[in-house]
Amino acid sequence: MSKKIILSGIQATGKLTLGNYLGAIDNWVKMQEEYECYYMIANLHSLTVRNDPETLRNNTLKILAIYIAAGLDPDKNTIFIQSQVKEHAELGWILDCYTYMGELSRMTQFKDKAAKHADNINAGLFTYPALMAADILLYQADLVPVGEDQMQHLEITRDIAERFNNLYGETFVIPEGYVRKASKRIMGLQDPTSKMSKSATNLNDVIFLEDEPEVILKKFKRAVTDSENIIRFDIENKPGVSNLMQIYSAITSKTIEEIEKEFEGSGYGNFKTKVAEAVIQKLEPIQIKYKELLNNPEYLEKIYTKGAENARELASKTLNSVKEKIGIIV
């Protein structure tokens, strides 16, 4: 039996965070043996906000380096840059024409980003989910591992695919989202009621994957908790402590009950240090490999060139079948 297909990706905007790592990359690494995986760097999606061109170019390569440093094996997975597989933009346009303004205007990410970038509410920001649907559907993905914040985009992808299939017959596999419970939504360290995000203005809110160990320790030590001084999971009343427990659980694979037991009678100071140490221990080897890879641009180029070639094979097959069905001469 052939393996099930996975596709996922990360935008090339900004520096990657612990949320991206635990919510996405770390799960991808765990899935690479069992599935046929396509992992991309979504640099076309990055254009929905303004970027300095040089920074966008560098970020694209940095994300590729993180993927590999974190353990994605380029020989086992197809790792590629979205813009290098032109089928994405082409199917993106086609799917724009099968996506309704009403459903797009309900997207939380659109509303959030439109509020944040009030001076640049461009059409791409609005139709963003149709391009994301194209990313997924081109590869006939069965499973899309993402953090919880992307689930709404996955739902609309399923709706678009079903709509298309109903009109033209079976064309797309209807993808399922995969969200890992322990890491589905890593929250900010300063504001544990909102998601840890690349675009946070308070840098103490976010652990960046490039942060030095001392910085990571300092940020965890400053993390907002509460006055109870008991390590107990209760998202509603103890969002800060619960978030730290979730991070610790995602990194160590210990259950919440095991963590409560481990830190029974311990104060927050010791707990925060232990969480920081676990994160540092996990990230340090990745950071070392990452720096080595960035010094080897020829190797990175080889990976993304081969990745795009592989990706194109399946993507062009799907796109051609779509075009035939809707009356576009191939």
Residues forming the active site: 113, 195, 198
To ligand TYM, the closest distance from the beta carbon of 210 in angstroms equals 16
Candidates 29, 64, 91, 136; binder of ligand TYM (CB under 6 A) is: 136
Phi, psi dihedrals of residue 232, rounded to the nearest 5° = -145, 140
Q: Does position 191 bind ligand TYM by CB under 6 A?
A: no
Maximum distance among all Cα pairs of the chain, rounded to whole angstroms:
70
Nearer to ligand TYM among residue 146 and residue 223 (C-beta): 146
Q: Does position 175 bind ligand TYM by CB under 6 A?
A: no
Q: Which of residues 3-22 bind ligand TYM (CB under 6 A)?
A: 7-11, 19-20
Instruction: Give the pair of three-digit tokens for residue 68.
Output: 């590999």
To ligand TYM, the closest distance from the beta carbon of 296 in angstroms equals 24
Nearer to ligand TYM among residue 135 and residue 225 (C-beta): 135
To ligand TYM, the closest distance from the beta carbon of 227 in angstroms equals 25
Region binding ligand TYM by CB under 6 A among candidate stretches 31-39, 96-104, 140-148, 305-313: 140-148
HEC profile for 279-324?
Answer: HHHHHHHHHHHHHHHHCCHHHHHHHHHHHHHHHHHHHHHHHHHHHH
Candidates 62, 113, 158, 195; binder of ligand TYM (CB under 6 A) is: 195
Nearer to ligand TYM among residue 86 and residue 185 (C-beta): 185
Q: Does position 66 bind ligand TYM by CB under 6 A?
A: no
To ligand TYM, the closest distance from the beta carbon of 308 in angstroms equals 16
User: Any idea what the Cα angle at residue 65 is, between residues 187 and 186, rounded to 5°?
Assistant: 5
How crowded is residue 167: how many other Cβ atoms within 10 Å of its Cβ? 11
Give the nearest residue (CB) to ligand TYM: 23
Region binding ligand TYM by CB under 6 A among candidate stretches 139-147, 223-231, 246-254, 297-305: 139-147
Instruction: Give the pair of three-digit tokens for residue 17.
Output: 């965070």
| Whole-angstrom distance, CA of residue 207 vs CA of residue 290 | 16
Candidates 103, 112, 142, 149; binder of ligand TYM (CB under 6 A) is: 149
Q: Which of residues 24-63 bind ligand TYM (CB under 6 A)?
A: 24, 42, 45
How crowded is residue 108: how many other Cβ atoms within 10 Å of its Cβ? 10
Nearer to ligand TYM among residue 197 and residue 225 (C-beta): 197
To ligand TYM, the closest distance from the beta carbon of 29 in angstroms equals 14
Sequence-distant (≥ 6) Cβ neighbours of residue 221 within 8 angstroms: 269, 272, 273, 276
To ligand TYM, the closest distance from the beta carbon of 3 in angstroms equals 18
Instruction: Give the pair of three-digit tokens for residue 277.
Output: 């140490």
To ligand TYM, the closest distance from the beta carbon of 279 in angstroms equals 14
Residues in binding contact with ligand TYM, number by CB under 6 A: 25
Nearer to ligand TYM among residue 40 and residue 217 (C-beta): 40
Nearer to ligand TYM among residue 104 and residue 230 (C-beta): 104
| Whole-angstrom distance, CA of residue 178 vs CA of residue 4 | 13
Q: Are 181 and 23 in contact (CB under 8 A)?
A: no
Positions that interact with ligand TYM (CB under 6 A):
7-11, 19-20, 23-24, 42, 45, 132, 135-136, 144, 146-147, 149-150, 153, 183, 185-186, 195-196
